[in-house]
Amino acid sequence: MRNPAFIVFEGGEGSGKSTQAKALSNRLRKLGFDVVSTHEPGGTVLGNKLRRWVKWGKEVTLPSELFLFLASRSQLVTKVIRPALARGYIVICDRFAASTIAYQGYGRGTDLSLLESLNDFATDGLVPDLTVLLDLDAEEGLGRKRRKWDTFEREDFTFHKRVRDGYLEMAAADAERWMVVDASLPTIQVEELIWERVREFLTYGKGFVSLATTSP
Ligand code: TMP
């Protein structure tokens, strides 16, 4: 089923974005939608290389870090997201431009209006139709991480708290295009809350397709 839409998952460390992005993609595919599922940083050959550098690189300066994320984003938008939307796919992306505002802006302290301009340049003006924010206390999120911690996970709690506050501010400023979900709820409940909103969005938000009578 062709019904182009761009849905992004955002949130702090350990908030369950990847699990929820996957669950939503599977659900939509089962209902017959054409779905492309991708993530940032990464999702392209170059992006996957950049991902390793930003997560595990040593002595990466703040501007370098920022430009690596932007480079990865630009590749992903041009090579994957825009072509998929043009073919009528629903694109589900684990992190996008708001991650830069939250982490490099609120977290690292880089000027927000500069970041907005750079994001606009890197995305060529592409804005998600819906952003799902999985909101979770930073300590709880980091407590869920089991493997070796990357550059961001090693930042202190005050950094992660600023990131969380940044996300909540962005969501509050654009309630129509953002939904905030309490990520401390059981996974299945989070999945249902997201589905309710996505279903409503696909039914009425874009006016393309009626899902009102479609059972999950
Ligand atoms: P993750 O894919 O495991 O969440 O790792 C990506 C990390 O990169 C995560 O800690 C958030 C961070 N990040 C930024 O700092 N800025 C960005 O623009 C993006 C996309 C991610």
Q: What is the pLDDT of residues 144-182, one digit of tens each?
A: 877 788 899 889 999 999 999 999 999 999 999 999 999
Q: Please tell me the distance between residue 196's alpha carbon and the centre of ligand 1 in angstroms.
A: 27
Q: Whose CA is nearest to atom 21 of ligand 1?
A: 99
d(CA 207, CA 186) in angstroms, rounded, equals 31
Helix (H) or strand (E) holding 9: strand 5-11
Q: Please tell me the distance between residue 130's alpha carbon and the centre of ligand 1 in angstroms.
A: 19
pLDDT of residue 147: 75
pLDDT of residue 206: 58
d(CA 149, CA 107) in angstroms, rounded, equals 17
pLDDT over 80 at 134, yes or no = yes
Q: Please tell me the distance between residue 95's alpha carbon and the centre of ligand 1 in angstroms.
A: 7
Q: How confident is the model at residue 1 (pLDDT cuts 50, 70, 90)?
A: low
Q: Which of 48, 96, 99, 112 to mutate to test the pocket of ligand 1 (most atoms within 8 A of CB)?
A: 99
Least confident window among 73-82, 141-150, 188-197, 202-211: 202-211
Tell me the longest C-alpha to C-alpha distance in the chain: 54
User: How much is the mean pLDDT over the chain?
Assistant: 92
Q: Whose CA is nearest to atom 10 of ligand 1?
A: 152
Q: Which of 69, 73, 147 to mutate to test the pocket of ligand 1 (most atoms within 8 A of CB)?
A: 69
Q: Whose CA is nearest to atom 3 of ligand 1?
A: 13
Checking DSSP bridges between strand 90-94 and strand 35-39, what pairing results, if any?
Answer: parallel
Q: Please tell me the distance between residue 2's alpha carbon and the centre of ligand 1 in angstroms.
A: 30
Average pLDDT over residues 111-122: 98
pLDDT over 60 at 215, yes or no = no
Model's pTM, two decimal places? 0.93
Q: Whose CA is nearest to atom 19 of ligand 1?
A: 99
pLDDT digits (tens, 9 = 90+) for 71-84: 999 999 999 999 99
Q: Whose CA is nearest to atom 4 of ligand 1?
A: 13
pLDDT digits (tens, 9 = 90+) for 18-64: 999 999 999 999 999 999 999 999 999 999 999 999 999 999 999 99
CB 123 within 8 A of CB 76: no
pLDDT over 80 at 65, yes or no = yes
Helix (H) or strand (E) holding 133: strand 130-135
